[in-house]
Amino acid sequence: MKIRTIIYILAFLALSSCTEKIDLELNDGFIRLVVEAELTNEAKAHEVRLSTTASYFSNEPVPMVSGASVLLSDGDDEILLTEKSPGIYVTPNDYQGVPGRNYSLRIELKEAIANETIYTAESFLNTVTESDSIWVEDHPDWGKGFYEVHWYAMEPPSTDFYMFRLFQNNVLLTDSLKEWSAFDDRFVNGNYLNGLGVVYLDRELGYSIKPGDSLTLMACGITKDFRIYLDFMRRQLNNQNPLFGGPPTNVFGNINGGALGYFAAYSTSYVSTVYSIRKTN
């Protein structure tokens, strides 16, 4: 017994003596342009947001890129966006994309970032099926409680990709990229969607829906490439298994020139309901 105790003590001392403080030197000098741009078939001022990457340990807001020339084209007409605030470039208030057209974005910087001044991207504006209705089901027995949004719509026979966002009392509820849901129609192609679950809200994350609240689902017809980008982004943003998940990495979008981010064009369809407690069998 004594010999075994001595062995445990020596092993503990050996392990504790192996600890050493290591200072990691992170390369903060490699800066890249970050592009966040969306275009829909809605008549409104669409935004293109230009910023740069920042140090991992920085507590400051990301640096915005001002003074750039941002052009948007549908192949026939081209418009120059206006910089309404540092790094935020907007179209006219009545500008809307046309489904079935391919749109290109051209960014020319005042000063080079990563030795590049010209960045380009393209995105095709798909159509989206019209929504019939939605209803929201409360699942108090799922963990600490979930709300499930059921979607009713006629899914066309074409290959389609969808993204969904939810508004509560006209305020965007799912305002973070990792809260957006997206899927393809491989299992429902050409069928009527009779209450398909498309958005799930975890009460543990602070979601609360009360009877009488107005809820609006925004269904978006996106491209396959944008669906892949969203899935990859969510995997990077959400917690991953430390044993089987890879380390976080930069997620490259569709911006040529080495920039990060994405230029996404898509159509939208809205449908609303007033939340009430509904019993299910």
Q: Using one digit for the tens of pLDDT, what is the confidence trace for 190-216?
A: 999 999 999 999 998 889 999 999 999
The pLDDT of residue 279 is 57
The span from the first CA to the last CA of the chain, in angstroms, equals: 63
pLDDT at 17 over 70: no
Residue type present at position 221: G
What CATH code is carried by the domain that includes residue 160?
2.60.40
Residues 112 and 167 in one domain: no
pLDDT at 25 over 60: no
Residue 68 forms part of a structural domain: yes
Q: What is the mean pLDDT of residues 235-246?
A: 56
The pLDDT of residue 179 is 74
The pLDDT of residue 59 is 67
pLDDT at 180 over 50: yes
CA 254 to chain centre: 14
CA distance 86 to 27: 26
pLDDT at 9 over 80: no
Residue 57: partners with Cβ closer than 8 Å, 6 or more residues away = 26
Q: What is the mean pLDDT of residues 248-270?
A: 88
Q: What is the mean pLDDT of residues 111-125?
A: 96
Residue 40 forms part of a structural domain: yes
Residue 237 forms part of a structural domain: yes
Q: What is the DSSP letter of 225?
A: H
Residues 104 and 148 in one domain: no
**4: three-class secondary structure by DSSP:** helix
Q: Give the domain range for residue 41.
A: 33-124
Residues 168 and 222 in one domain: yes
Q: What is the pTM of this model?
A: 0.82
The pLDDT of residue 6 is 47
Q: Tell me which of 79, 101, 124 is where a domain ends.
A: 124
Residues 41 and 84 in one domain: yes
DSSP secondary structure string for all residues of 62-119: PPB--S-EEEEE-SS-EEEPEEEETTEEE--TT----TT-EEEEEEEEEEEETTEEEE
Residue 66 forms part of a structural domain: yes
Q: What is the mean pLDDT of residues 222-250?
A: 71
- What residues does 193 pair with on adjacent strands? 153
Residues 74 and 136 in one domain: no
The pLDDT of residue 13 is 47
Q: What is the mean pLDDT of residues 68-72?
A: 98
The answer to which of 8-12, 32-36, 85-89, 224-228 has the lowest mean pLDDT is 8-12
Residues 245 and 225 in one domain: yes
The answer to which of 120-129, 141-150, 235-244, 246-255 has the lowest mean pLDDT is 235-244
Q: How many domains does the chain have?
A: 2
H/E stretch holding 227? helix 224-237
User: CA nearest 131: which of 264, 40, 222, 220?
Assistant: 220
pLDDT at 20 over 60: no
Contact 92, 84 (CB under 8 A): no
Q: What is the mean pLDDT of residues 87-113?
A: 97
Residue 230: partners with Cβ closer than 8 Å, 6 or more residues away = 163, 177, 180, 182, 222
The pLDDT of residue 56 is 59
pLDDT at 135 over 80: yes
User: CA nearest 116: which of 28, 47, 39, 52?
Assistant: 52
Residues 66 and 91 in one domain: yes
Q: Tell me which of 79, 104, 124 is where a domain ends.
A: 124
Residues 188 and 217 in one domain: yes
Residues 200 and 240 in one domain: yes
Q: Tell me which of 64, 98, 124 is where a domain ends.
A: 124
